[in-house]
Chain A
Amino acid sequence: MKTTMVQSSKKRLRTRASKNRQGNNQQKSTDAVKKNGSILVAGKKAPNFSLNSTPDQKVSLTDFRGQPVILAFYPADWSPVCTDQLSLYAEVMPEFKKHNAELLAISVDNIWSHLAFSKDRKLNFPVLADFEPKGTVSRKYGAFKEKIGEAARALFVIDDKGVIRWSHLSPDGVNPGADGILLALENLNRNQPVVQG
């Protein structure tokens, strides 16, 4: 079998970077999404919330006004898919930071579970407990599954003014990856939607 091995070079870096951009532009716009079952859509004001990130610290959405915020609702700590999803986001954090974006993960687990989970997975972003009254914030975003009592696997990208600019709902067992988030962050400066209701 023929084997090809070539060292990386600066030229290669440039070529790949430009191909990468080209690839993104070819993707369909995800700047504003849709139906998505019942989750809040692009153009809506993001409901504010204040949730515990540690037993004695609360995080509010308004704390981050002036910078983009990514909200990642997920069903439960410790389940395999969430683990992959949030571990991936921990790795991709430097890319999110290039957009000055903050990531907040939210599930209905309590803060002690979150602390253990976050430590175990070496997460580098706040993991918030939508615990009491259970699912209040998830519900506000249309991302609560009433029958199961868990948050849906929903993503939101919120701009510096607190307006949802992209949202995405995944099936529970599907890790949505980070490509949609990155594309939405890039599109923040390109398209200014008219704010609705």
Chain B
Amino acid sequence: MAATKTVPRRTTGKTRLETVEEEPETTRLVVPVDPGGDHIQGPLAASLTLVEYGDYQCPYCGAAYPEVKKIQKQLGSKLRFVFRNFPLSRIHEHALNAAETAEAANAQGKFWDMHDFLYEHQDTLGDPGVALGFAKKLGLDIQKFQHDLSQHTHQSRIKEDFNGGVRSGVNGTPTFYVNGLRHEGAATARELVKALEAPK
């Protein structure tokens, strides 16, 4: 349904308001997938792209985590999956620290191991010893890992992910973008695969 909008039009130095017919807006991902900076699983040139804005402490993200795994299994190399940080730290007190933990692991090449671990151990997020134990198991340089956490080395990147998400219309977590458009359906493998494979 086309909406009627009043938009400003530049005339002689002043803007006046006019009413025009406009197609409804679709919420789009405004920060394109960046192979140099994003966390990406799957081939860069994959034909299908799923972007998740997620919060490690959010129970709905926890529920979506195995759904994403199912989607990846089902679509294989046709899909590239991108994870971006969207910690709602005021309501989830451990979300920012968890995001920093994953980013500290990323700095040593182990982002996805830590990402998966955090989602699989959501109930332990309040105990930093748990993730630290996993970092040791991964063979990370623990001194550097702890330094990154205590100095909040990766907070700016997390903030950047967050702000990009806000500009793309992320309004809660998880929010998924299917081939660049916000997914309005359920965060289930079934709904997401249907959206991913819909004709473009």
Residues of A bordering B, CB below 8 Å? 1-9, 11-13, 15-16, 19-20, 23-24, 26-29, 31-35, 41-43, 84-85, 87-88, 90-92, 95, 121-122, 124, 175-179, 182, 191-194, 196
Contacts and interface: CB of A to CB of B under 8 A. Distances in A.
Given A43-B6, A194-B16, 7 more contacts: A13-B156, A23-B167, A32-B17, A34-B3, A35-B6, A87-B88, A88-B172
A143 to B, nearest CB: 17
A5 B39 contact: yes
Nearest to B10: A191
A42 B8 CA distance: 10
A33 B3 CA distance: 10
B105 to A, nearest CB: 9
B4 A35 contact: yes
Contacts of A179: 27, 166-169
B12 interface: no
A170 B167 CA distance: 17
B8 A193 contact: yes
A2 B81 CA distance: 11
Nearest to B15: A191
Interface of B: 3-8, 10, 14-17, 19, 22, 25, 27-28, 30-32, 34-44, 72, 76-77, 88-91, 103, 106-107, 109-112, 154, 156-157, 160, 162-164, 166-172
B166 A182 contact: yes
A34 B171 contact: no
A194 B13 CA distance: 11
A95 B30 CA distance: 17
Contacts, number: 155
Given A4-B44, A84-B172, A90-B90, A31 B31 contact: no
A37 to B, nearest CB: 11
A8 B157 contact: yes
Which of A3, A41, A95: most chain B Cβ within 10 A?
A: A3
A121 B90 CA distance: 7
Most chain A C-beta atoms within 10 Å of own C-beta, residue among B27, B39, B90, B156:
B90
B111 to A, nearest CB: 5
Contacts of B40: 3-4
Contacts of B27: 177, 179
A5 B168 contact: no
B15, B35, B42, B167, most chain A CB atoms within 10 A: B167
Given A3-B112, A5-B106, A87 B90 contact: yes
